[in-house]
Chain A
Amino acid sequence: MILLPCAWCGLRDAAEFQHVGEIVARPDPRTATPARWRAYLYLRANRCGWTAETWYHRMGCRRFVKVERHTETNEVRPVSGGAPGAVG
């Protein structure tokens, strides 16, 4: 079982969460070109190693959490500032 550190609920079973994905900076919709916007929608780093990502505590507090996960070993470590307002 993989445990994820929820900033509000503590360590919880990863099955309670929905994986939202790696954190990608959202371009300003007023100035982004279509190419820039589609890059934001589709392109991912897909790293094999430590990745900062967002999870949604769907069956818990229903808030978004930032964590760092090693995508090859699935080790997880909390992110500083992973709590309030952390919507990826």
Chain B
Amino acid sequence: MKASYDVVIVGGGVHGLAAAYYLAANHGITDVAVLDKGYLGSGGSGRNTAILRSNYLTPEGVRFYDRSIKLYQRLAAELDFNVMFSQRGHLTLAHSDASLRTMRWRAEVNKIEGVDSEVIGPAEIKRLVPFLDVSPAARYPVLGALWHPPGGIIRHDAVVWGYARAAAGLGVHLHQNTEVTGIDVVGGQVRGVRTSQGDIATRVVLNATAGWCSLISDMAGVAMPVQTFPLQAAVTEPVKPFLSTVIVSGTLHVYVSQTDRGELVFGASVDPFTSYSMRGSLEFIEGLAGHVLELMPALTKVRVLRQWAGLCDMTPDFSPIMGRTPVDGFLTDVGWGTYGFKAGPVSGEAMAECIASGRTPEIIAAFGLDRFAEGALVGEKGAAAVGH
């Protein structure tokens, strides 16, 4: 580790590594260190359910995530690393008139922004997913769904490794097991970072630490409107391929996809209270199993292999906090809640531009920290709260 770097990125997940890669690849800034207190991808980047989509509710959100999907589409070629992106289609189920109405709204916003998205009925859903219970006798009958063909799943670890290898190849330094313990600010300007492996002088620090982001921002004296919630997920033993789309049910708090190995990956909404604990709970797995069986009763004999949790940095409006802060040289790419992984490439690209140019790129202009003081929130709850 050198004694100084032009840019220090805290957090070695997809966001931090993508920012490092685009700083080097797009802007020629290679005197960059990425620090992680654990190993690369040990946080949310390795704990999410690897779902990608761009069918959000606000025009700002749709444009942003659509750019991310486009970057993901050519990521394997760009990084020369197979990230196994499978655009298999994404179904968000509606079990009530209210959610069907929100989906029609989302579909229209999506279409205006050029994103493939439409509302379909139960017969079409049954054709796409024969194992799904779409009968009117279900406890929460399926009334329709938002069908989003460009959505899909990807190998999340490969995305992390691909960015890490490409960034390192361009001269970026990656420091694992390096915990940030303090940030030096003099006269409102960042001067350095203290770590468990020694001090680093720098004038630019990017906070990309998701669930731990308010602890890092506190070190720079920047208050954050963030609460950290665990989100649990689970995976089953492998079974024959039968599920070719991603299925999300907001009402049942569950989303399901089948990996290339045949395992079923289940995710849920965040736990009902804030915590930095990453232990799984029995309440979660019981509730999850029940909800999955309401959707696909044929899965009663499938066994769960394991469950885990990741930490989500939830913001009041379910949108991220990106860009500059009142402390010069201290930038954030946080507030990613339950939807950070799918935004990794576009966030890295935008934060790299923000650092290199000193200006806030248009695509993240709506996501600044100052929006909370001004009351200019970007409400994405209707499309981000459970659906992934």
Encode contact with B along A34-76: 1 for CB under 8 Å, 0 otherwise.
Answer: 1100110111111010000000000000000000000111100
CB of A23 within 8 Å of the partner chain: no
CB of A12 within 8 Å of the partner chain: no
The segment from B167-175, B274-282, B294-302 found at the interface with A is B274-282
> Please, which residues of chain A bring their CB within 8 A of the CB of B283?
1, 15
CB of A79 within 8 Å of the partner chain: no
Contact of B275 among A18, A21, A35, A71 (CB under 8 A): A71
Residue of B at shortest CB range from A51? Answer: B274
Residue of A at shortest CB range from B282? Answer: A1
> Please, which residues of chain B bring their CB within 8 A of the CB of A73?
277
Interface size class of B (residues with CB under 8 A): 20 to 34
Residue of A at shortest CB range from B313? Answer: A46
> Please, which residues of chain A bring their CB within 8 A of the CB of B227?
21, 44, 46
CB distance from B372 to the nearest CB of A (A): 5
CB of B215 within 8 Å of the partner chain: yes
Q: Which of B272, B274, B373 lies at the interface centre, i.e. has the most chain A CB atoms within 10 A of its CB?
A: B274
> Please, which residues of chain B bring their CB within 8 A of the CB of A44?
214, 224-227
Report how far A18 CA is from B272 CA in the complex, Å. 8
Once the chains bind, are A14 and B373 in contact (CB under 8 Å)?
no
Once the chains bind, are A71 and B276 in contact (CB under 8 Å)?
yes
Residue of B at shortest CB range from A4? Answer: B273
> Please, which residues of chain B bring their CB within 8 A of the CB of A41?
316
CB of A77 within 8 Å of the partner chain: no
Report how far A42 CA is from B228 CA in the complex, Å. 13
Report how far A34 CA is from B224 CA in the complex, Å. 17
Once the chains bind, are B272 and A48 in contact (CB under 8 Å)?
no
Once the chains bind, are B277 and A38 in contact (CB under 8 Å)?
no
Report how far A40 CA is from B373 CA in the complex, Å. 10
Interface of A is mostly: mixed
Once the chains bind, are B225 and A72 in contact (CB under 8 Å)?
no
Interface of B is mostly: loop
CB distance from A48 to the nearest CB of B (A): 5
Tally of A interface residues using CB under 8 Å: 22
CB of B363 within 8 Å of the partner chain: no
Interface residues of A in 1-27 (CB under 8 A from B): 1, 14-15, 18-19, 21-22
Once the chains bind, are B373 and A46 in contact (CB under 8 Å)?
no
CB distance from B314 to the nearest CB of A (A): 10
Once the chains bind, are A46 and B214 in contact (CB under 8 Å)?
yes
Q: Are A46 and B372 CB-contacts (below 8 A) given A1-B282, A21-B227, A41-B316?
A: no
> Please, which residues of chain A bring their CB within 8 A of the CB of B187?
none
> Please, which residues of chain B bring their CB within 8 A of the CB of A43?
223-225, 372
Report how far A38 CA is from B274 CA in the complex, Å. 21
Residue of B at shortest CB range from A37? Answer: B375
> Please, which residues of chain A bring their CB within 8 A of the CB of B276?
48, 71-72
Once the chains bind, are B277 and A46 in contact (CB under 8 Å)?
no
> Please, which residues of chain A bring their CB within 8 A of the CB of B272?
18-19
> Please, which residues of chain B bring their CB within 8 A of the CB of A21?
227, 274
> Please, which residues of chain A bring their CB within 8 A of the CB of B224?
43-44, 46
> Please, which residues of chain A bring their CB within 8 A of the CB of B275?
71-72, 74
> Please, which residues of chain B bring their CB within 8 A of the CB of A14?
273
Report how far A83 CA is from B223 CA in the complex, Å. 31
Contact of B274 among A15, A35, A46 (CB under 8 A): A46
Report how far A39 CA is from B375 CA in the complex, Å. 10
Once the chains bind, are B225 and A42 in contact (CB under 8 Å)?
yes
CB distance from B30 to the nearest CB of A (A): 33
Report how far A88 CA is from B279 CA in the complex, Å. 27
* 22 pairs from A and B in contact (CB 8 Å cutoff): A14-B273, A18-B272, A19-B273, A22-B274, A38-B373, A39-B373, A42-B316, A42-B372, A43-B223, A44-B214, A44-B224, A44-B225, A44-B227, A46-B227, A46-B228, A71-B228, A71-B274, A72-B275, A72-B277, A74-B275, A74-B277, A74-B279
Taking Cβ atoms with an 8 Å cutoff, the residues of A that contact B are: 1, 14-15, 18-19, 21-22, 34-35, 38-39, 41-46, 48, 71-74
Query: Closest 3 A-B residue pairs measured CB to CB?
Result: A19-B273, A42-B225, A46-B214
